[in-house]
Amino acid sequence: MQLKSGQIAVVTGGGTGIGRALCLQLTAAGVHVATCDVSSENMAETRQLALAKAPAGTRLTTFQADVSKEEQMLAFRDAVKAEHGTDHVHLLINNAGIGGGGGFVAGSRSEWERTFGVCWFGVYYGARAFMPLLVAAPEAHIVNVSSVNGFWASLGPTVPHTAYAAAKFAVKGFTEALITDLRLNAPHVGCSVVMPGHIGTSIALNTNVVQGHGEVKDLPADKLAAVRARMVKAGAPVADLPDEALRKFLHKRATDFRDNAPTTAEQAAGIILDGVRTGRWRILVGEDAQRLDSMVRENPEGAYEAEFAAKWRDGKPGLAG
């Protein structure tokens, strides 16, 4: 699908990271954008940055919404229809996501369900809310952002990663199934599943806020103790590290994840939009994603063994999230 001036795109999670970069690149092409996020402050910054470089007359509207709540996504849809004066949209990018909820056996159920709710139901509710508007357009496309953890459910052998991986597998399977569904029932609507590797975003910083724990540098004592125990079990020498020093370490690690990634959010957004333009249904983002995809395909039975993770780490300093 060609992205043209005057089209309307919907982007969830547009306050930071890939979502923000998508908003900026779409508006720079003259595409009108409607975005939602849980942070009105972040969206305001996105809007300011986008409109400063967009062609005159380009619109970017914002709506505060939690994508895991269907009523809020339906309200977002109604706001898009009203603010853009439209009964159709050309592009929907279900991008919003958080981490957390790694442990199923011994972890927090509420955190698990919060992560799964945002990462899976956010995609499902977004697709449900906006599918009629996509079908009403003469040409349209839906993009669902999964992850390399949508085909490799791991961060390595010492870290549980169940909620995020389960959600991203669901996103991948749903989007692949949509290929046939759309071909039969709405052949003018295309779809793509996006599987990024390590991208320079603030997901590690934002997750704790969305999970209700506050910023990483202000983690409450009970949450910090759980993180410490998990790190000690994984072999990290943090057992005797003072609480404040551990908070600073975690904050730096989350910041480094954003600032030292092999692929920037801007590069990722460009790859995604190029995939839409060329009609690709499967979009791997980053050389690390390409490499991991090949490794899993070559050795699916061994993908969750320590040797596999060691081989992966040899080619990449940090595991993707």
Tens-digit pLDDT profile for residues 192-242: 999 999 998 877 666 666 666 667 777 788 878 877 887 777 778 888 888
Same domain membership, residue 192 and residue 209: no
Higher pLDDT, 97 or 254: 97
> Rounded mean pLDDT of 259-279?
95
Identify whether residues 276 and 206 lie together within a single domain: no
Q: Is 181 inside any structural domain?
A: yes
Q: Is residue 246 part of a domain?
A: yes
pLDDT computed for residue 251 by the predictor = 79
Residue 292 lies in a domain: no
> Does residue 96 sit in the same domain as residue 172?
yes
Same domain, 109 and 161: yes
Output 37 or 207, whichever has higher pLDDT: 37
Q: What is the pLDDT of residue 206?
A: 67
> Same domain, yes or no, for 185 and 59?
yes
Q: Do 1 and 147 share a structural domain?
A: yes
pLDDT at 201: 82
Total count of domains within the chain: 2
Q: Which long-range contacts (CB under 8 A, 24 or more apart) does 38-43 make?
A: 38/64, 38/65, 38/66, 38/210, 39/15, 39/64, 40/64, 41/15, 42/15, 42/16, 43/14, 43/15
The yes-or-no verdict on residue 259 having pLDDT over 50 is: yes
What local confidence, expressed as pLDDT, does residue 227 receive?
77
The pTM score is 0.90
pLDDT at residue 51 above 70? Answer: yes
Residue 71 falls inside a structural domain: yes
Question: What is the C-alpha to C-alpha distance for residues 46 and 35, in angstroms, rounded to an integer?
Answer: 9
Q: Is 307 within a domain?
A: no
115, part of any domain: yes
Residues 139 and 232 placed together within one structural domain of the fold = no
**Residue 270 sits in the same domain as residue 251:** no
Is residue 69 domain-shared with residue 161, that is, in the same domain? Answer: yes
Query: Structural domain of residue 115, as residue ranges?
Result: 1-200+263-285
**Residues 194 and 225 both lie in one domain:** no
| Same domain? 101 vs 65 | yes
Count Cβ atoms within 10 A of the Cβ of residue 128 and give its class: 0-12 exposed, 13-18 middle, 19 or more buried: middle
- What's the confidence (pLDDT) of residue 313? 84
Single-letter residue type at 312: W
Whether residue 175 is found in the same domain as residue 225: no
- Decide if 303 is inside a domain: no
Residue 241 identity: L
Q: What tokens appear for 48 in the block?
A: 């300011």
pLDDT at 252: 80
- Torsion sign over Cα 287, 292, 293, 294: positive
Q: What is the CATH number of the domain that holds 154?
A: 3.40.50.720
pLDDT over 50 at 319, yes or no = no
Q: Which residues pair with 221 in a beta bridge?
A: none
Main-chain dihedrals φ then ψ at residue 161, nearest 5 degrees: -150, 50
Mean pLDDT for 89-94 is: 98
Q: Which is nearest to 98 in space by CA: 75, 73, 124, 68?
A: 68
